[in-house]
Amino acid sequence: MQSFTKKEIALFKKLNTPSKVQDFLNGLNNNFEHNGKDTVKSPIRVIREGNAHCIEGAILGAYILSLHGHKPLLMHLKTTKADLEHIIMPFKVDGFWGALSKTNHAVLRYRDPIYKSIRELALSYFHEYYLDSGVKTLRSYSVPLNLNIFKDDWATSEDNLFGIDEELDRIKHYDLFPKKVLKNLRKAEKIEIEAGKLIQYKK
């Protein structure tokens, strides 16, 4: 079984606020899964390989913030089949929700803790979630998943954490709005679509 080094533990101690953790996640290269195989890497693997995609960044953020008194939570943002789903790490400060988010794009990023409910937090991502055609795709959100339910030492696992990904898909989800409003949804504008194409790291 792997374990974190003294240097890694010292780093985690310094990352003692959500904002600091978000800055660290932003500095990690994007995991493009170049070998063609899906991964859900543990925090120790992300730290040592220096890259992550959304769920890997969320799991790492959850682990680090858990060392500073936060619950290690994940939330699943579910889209239509035409789009890619997203995983964020919700956290609470003074009774308000915010979120860490690892993404390679200019949108779907960090949320300041200003939201009164998990639903409000999920809704904050709605207008940034669209296809190149402008069609908005975000449809539902999960209840927060507490990683403490996993008895194995997921933070230092050498194996992929596919069980976490599977549980996120199984847990209770709530629709953001009734289906009848779909016909009234306005498409994202061209300038929004172009802004959404900005990326931080190239393949």
CATH topology of domain 6-196: C8orf32 fold (3.10.620)
What's the pLDDT tens digit per position in 81-122?
999 999 999 999 999 999 999 999 999 999 999 999 999 999
Residue owning tokens 């599977």: 166
Cα–Cα distance list, 54 to 7, 133, 162, 182 (Å): 25, 23, 14, 27
Structure tokens at 202: 């190239």
Q: Where are the domains of the chain?
A: 6-196
Q: Are 87 and 77 in contact (CB under 8 A)?
A: yes
For tokens 């936060």, what's the residue? 70
pTM for this prediction: 0.97
**Each residue's pLDDT tens digit, 127-172:** 999 999 999 999 999 999 999 999 779 999 999 999 999 999 999 9
Contact between 95 and 104 under an 8 Å Cβ cutoff? The reply is no
Q: Are strands 96-100 and 73-79 parallel, antiparallel or unpaired?
A: unpaired
**pLDDT the model gives residue 148:** 96
